[in-house]
């Protein structure tokens, strides 16, 4: 049995050493091989729990990206943290799974006076542990690959939003251009002989009508093009 007498002081934030007090009590009276099986079973269970928690977080980030919704503000940081977490879990699972498989295949064992450390009963029990570790490894592999796709989806979303912002700015500039030109034109001191509308009773009213009509037409056109809409 492996007993942790003092937890390390440099553990990452949010990571704690599991309480193995009950495990010590359960191993009382067990042979060494059975105690090792119980320890492997606990380790596999803890790994599965960590993988499930990381998977839940990854699904929360994945949902808005797959449905073209606004992702969380810190989405890029979350993706980086999740990728690092899945990679670390993979480095834990692979060697643990390798040891379990070697014990099951009778490639790793210690004999004492003809007696095996890991009996056939222990090897059979370890098959369930192997299945749990294999499932966890498959989940880690899937999400490690899927996170790359999520990174690409996030980049595509940000590029689309940037293009939409550029379109909105271009539409606003175009909408303001002609009205500004008309306002500037009618504010200049120009010979009335060249501009007969200066002699009209409602010359400036015509200018305002033109400004409103041109602005309304441009707003309708740009809305249909999607340049002034959120989506």
Query: What's the CATH number where 181 sits?
Result: 1.20.58
Residue 55 and residue 57: Cα distance in Å, rounded?
5
pLDDT for position 65: 78
As given in the structure block, the two tokens for residue 163 are: 């293009």
Q: In the prediction, which pLDDT does 99 show? A: 85
Percent of the chain whose predicted confidence (pLDDT) is above 70:
66
Number of domains in the chain: 2
Q: Under DSSP, is residue 189 helix (H, G, I), strand (E, B) or coil?
A: coil
Domain boundary (109, 138, 157) is at: 157
pLDDT band at 1 (very low <50, low <70, confident <90, very high): very low
pLDDT at 159: 76
Residue 162 inside a domain? The answer is: no
Domain ranges, residue 191:
167-225
Q: Is 2 a member of any domain?
A: no
User: Among 139, 157, 175, where does a domain finish?
Assistant: 157
**Can you give the pTM of this predicted structure?**
0.60
pLDDT-wise least confident of 76-80, 175-179, 220-224 = 175-179
Burial code (b: 16+ CB inside 10 Å, e: under 16) for 174-210 equals ebeeebeebeeebeeeeeeeeeeeeeeeeeeeebeee
pLDDT digits (tens, 9 = 90+) for 20-62: 566 555 555 666 767 777 888 888 988 999 999 989 988 888 8
Q: Express each pLDDT in 58-110 by its tens digit.
A: 888 888 877 777 777 888 888 888 888 899 899 889 988 888 888 887 766 56
């Amino acid at each position: 049995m492996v007993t942790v007498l003092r937890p390390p002081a440099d553990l990452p934030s949010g990571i704690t050493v599991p309480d193995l007090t009950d495990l010590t009590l359960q191993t009382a009276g067990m042979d060494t091989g059975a105690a090792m099986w119980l320890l492997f079973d606990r380790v596999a269970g803890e790994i599965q729990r960590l993988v499930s928690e990381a998977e839940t977080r990854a699904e929360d980030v994945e949902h808005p990206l797959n449905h073209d919704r606004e992702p969380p503000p810190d989405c890029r940081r979350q993706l980086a943290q999740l990728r690092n977490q899945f990679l670390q879990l993979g480095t834990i699972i692979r060697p643990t799974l390798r040891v379990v498989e070697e014990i099951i295949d009778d490639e790793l064992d210690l004999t004492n006076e003809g007696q095996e450390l890991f009996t056939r009963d222990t090897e059979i029990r370890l098959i369930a542990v192997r299945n749990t570790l294999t499932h966890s490894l498959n989940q880690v592999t899937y999400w490690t690959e899927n996170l790359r796709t999520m990174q690409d989806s996030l980049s595509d979303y940000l590029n689309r939003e940037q293009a939409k912002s550029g379109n909105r700015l271009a539409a606003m500039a175009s909408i303001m251009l002609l009205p500004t030109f008309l306002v500037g034109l009618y504010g200049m001191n120009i010979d009335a002989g060249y501009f007969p509308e200066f002699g009209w009773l409602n010359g400036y009213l015509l200018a305002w009508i033109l400004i409103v009509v041109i602005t309304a037409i441009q707003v309708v056109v740009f809305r249909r093009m999607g340049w002034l809409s959120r989506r």
